Chains A and B, each alone.
Chain A
């Protein structure tokens, strides 16, 4: 992990209130696994950094791609950054999906809203390892949908929208019964969605990526802890910013 002033080389709107931000610097060469994130200091007006997942890495160009949704003041201020501007970035942070240890043949990826981004870099990695990838991507409405074609280039894609304006009407959990043949699942999205997915796919090996408000983002302040499911666990907790954000669903209490 390092702190770096990265240069913005692309910044554009890709869906309602959703932006693609591409940052160039030396940080991309240190990304170890999909699911890791960067911690962004949007400007001096903000006291805390904002965690955003790494959605893609281009090692030739030396860039990371981030996809973010405007949720409040910090992400709103981020939209005003221009190509050529420098951004204070800490990372790569956290422990991602353990792709080197997997024995997966057929992966099921389940993403909800702004939990979709880290799954894209994961899908690319799984595909390049020769694994088959099926994705279920959930959004609020058709105008929130992004990156579905990019996922399609890597495997089957099922889209769900809450209002039915695109794909299946409902939630990702309504689509899961339509797919089969997978041996491992990977999921990122709001906690309610992860809870549903975990319940529905009990018995299937999986990995989930979870969120919490962060202080330091490096594992020092204990702001981002999640309780262990195993009451006998020696520590009893995991830090989302450093032990995670990716965990086995049975490891933590959602």
Chain B
């Protein structure tokens, strides 16, 4: 028997696979494809203090091995999420990680406080969304702002907080350390990389917002490198994401130092992807001579130091 369990702050995971925020809505649409209770956890779409419409369309564009998106954090607002979406998800008995977003420090505090009194198991602090005008990524590229917002959110709620880091920085380790010092319980990495595509026939950016966040296999090597660096520098568990499509991708993330993983845009290609990866993971682990997920975590580091 392969042991796929992982225990993280607030999250007792039966397996390390969860859908990434913004790529799974609030689960409703995917519940028609498979039973959501198979999932290790569910990271739900960002919540803001009040309802947001988001950016103009087009909001997505395809790229080589990935896509750009600039949704702009469209969501019904934290109250509606707690009232309607969490109620829908509750019967599945799968830990829910709520993604907290905002434009100001006060927004973050308000959303965190409300979710702190809800049924979610943990908060994912989104200081890395590149697609909103104010707030969002600003907090994620300045270590002092990241420190302050993390501390405020920790004070506003008793739930464990995973700070979601932006890859759009020169030094990811400084950002990770700022989150750790502010009392974060874990890290979630990475969010999308800011990018752009221009349509030669219209001579304009394809995405109405002009820039969008790059996701998919194209960003996986960046994520692996950043997790590998951060794992050595801080003592927080990491939920890794970026371009995961196969069980070997999952093993690569675990070896780099992630304790669990999230699958994002691959859900658009194959709506069954999370369930399929969960089903295939035990065999993939034994094919690489592992008997548990825990054993894989950080494996790349032991090998580099012993040789």
Instruction: Write the residues of chain A forming the contact surface with B, with a CB cutoff of 8 angstroms.
Output: 1-3, 41, 46-49, 90, 212-227, 235-237, 242
Contact = CB atoms under 8 A, between A and B. Distances in A.
Contact of A221 (B23, B65, B216): B23
A221 B69 contact: yes
B35 interface: no
A46 B29 CA distance: 23
Nearest to A216: B268
B269 interface: yes
B32 A1 contact: yes
Given A3-B270, A218-B29, A224 B69 contact: no
Given A220-B25, A221-B71, A225-B57, A3 B271 contact: yes
Interface string B47-66: 00001011001111111011
26 contacts: A1-B33, A3-B270, A3-B271, A3-B272, A41-B269, A46-B62, A47-B65, A47-B216, A47-B269, A48-B60, A48-B268, A49-B268, A212-B57, A212-B58, A213-B61, A215-B67, A215-B268, A216-B271, A217-B268, A218-B30, A219-B28, A220-B29, A221-B22, A221-B25, A222-B74, A237-B53
Q: Which of B23, B60, B65 has the most CB of A within 10 A?
A: B60
Interface of B: 22-25, 28-30, 32-33, 45, 51, 53-54, 57-63, 65-67, 69, 71, 74, 76, 216, 265, 267-272
B32 A222 contact: no
Nearest to A72: B62
Contacts of B51: 236
B74 A220 contact: no
Contacts of A90: 271
Nearest to B218: A47
Given A3-B270, A46-B62, A215 B69 contact: yes
B71 A235 contact: no
B119 to A, nearest CB: 21
Given A47-B67, A47-B265, A220-B30, A236 B25 contact: no
A223 B45 CA distance: 13
Contacts of A1: 32-33
The A interface is mostly helix, strand or loop, or mixed, namely: loop
Contact of B29 (A41, A219, A227): A219
B243 to A, nearest CB: 10
B59 A47 contact: no
B270 A223 contact: no
A2 B34 CA distance: 11
A216 B23 CA distance: 8
Contacts of A227: 53
Nearest to A46: B62
B209 to A, nearest CB: 12
Nearest to B215: A47
A199 B24 CA distance: 37
Contacts of B62: 46-48
Contacts of A223: 57-60, 69, 71
Contacts of A49: 268-269
A2 B33 CA distance: 7
Contact of B63 (A47, A213, A224, A235): A47
Contacts of B270: 3
Contacts of A2: 33
B24 A220 contact: yes
A214 B58 CA distance: 8
A220 B267 contact: yes
Nearest to A240: B57
Nearest to B22: A221
A150 to B, nearest CB: 32
Given A46-B62, A49-B268, 8 more contacts: A1-B32, A1-B33, A48-B269, A212-B57, A215-B265, A216-B268, A223-B60, A225-B57
Contacts of B69: 215, 221, 223
Contacts of B23: 216, 220-221
Contacts of A3: 33, 270-272
A214 B270 CA distance: 14
Contacts of B59: 213, 215, 222-225
A226 B60 CA distance: 14
Given A41-B269, A49-B269, A235-B76, A213 B65 contact: no
